[in-house]
Structure 1
Amino acid sequence: MRLTAITLDCPDPPALAAFYAHATGLPLHHASGEDFAGLVGEGGLLLGFQRVDDYEPPRWPGQSVPQQIHLDFAVDDLDAAEQRLSQLGAARPESQPGGDRWRILTDPAGHPFCLTLPKGDGA
């Protein structure tokens, strides 16, 4: 068995795909109108975004609407990555339990994701 795709629910798949394409440099792989968009990563892994009517963004760190899934991205500089991603539309929740080891942001649809330093750095 091999993982081939991870798909996130959202209200606007093309917009969220554009955010992650700019954030990661992954190319657009597939778009199906306004209902689905995907990016292709290493080894063919698809990061997909599908439209959900009446979408409610996760409430992090609260669990009134659980996060259900989050993505981790390794970066060399937490501050520089946060600044760049904020310019693309990411937000920084007040709660930051990672100290200087990782940083939590939310994408434009509200999904939390983590920026982490490479193993051995910042710990």
Structure 2
Amino acid sequence: MYDGALILESLRVGTELSGIPVVVRKISRYDVSSATTDQPPVWSVLEFEVEDWHAEALAKDLAAALDAPGWYADFHNDKEIFVVFPGRVFRYPRGDAAAREEAQRFGRELGIPEPQLDWTE
């Protein structure tokens, strides 16, 4: 089972995620001090679980649904992490510092502020 988080404002207008069963664990709203000018100052966060055999499909669907430039979603299990940006998926073993840095570098190229590049390791 993978645990993850999706900022609902990160989805492109007109997109829909369906066909992949996820369990919603929590929905929250937050004021965000590190929001960029392209991001709203309040975010709705959906925390979810997805079964192992659906993880790749979810990553692919998220890569097609996330808005650009500065958004991503992430989910992880005990062994690996998915970090999904618009059009790009990073999948790496937990604890792989070089792979994490590669994903963070890509996020920086999209203009994502450093404080937001803080997914669970």
Normalized against structure 2, the TM-score is what? 0.30
Greater RCO (CA < 8 Å, at least 6 residues apart): 2
Indicate the structure (1 or 2) with the bigger Cα radius of gyration. 1
Relative to its length, the structure with more helix (as a share) is 2
Normalized against structure 1, the TM-score is what? 0.29
Relative to its length, the structure with more strand (as a share) is 2
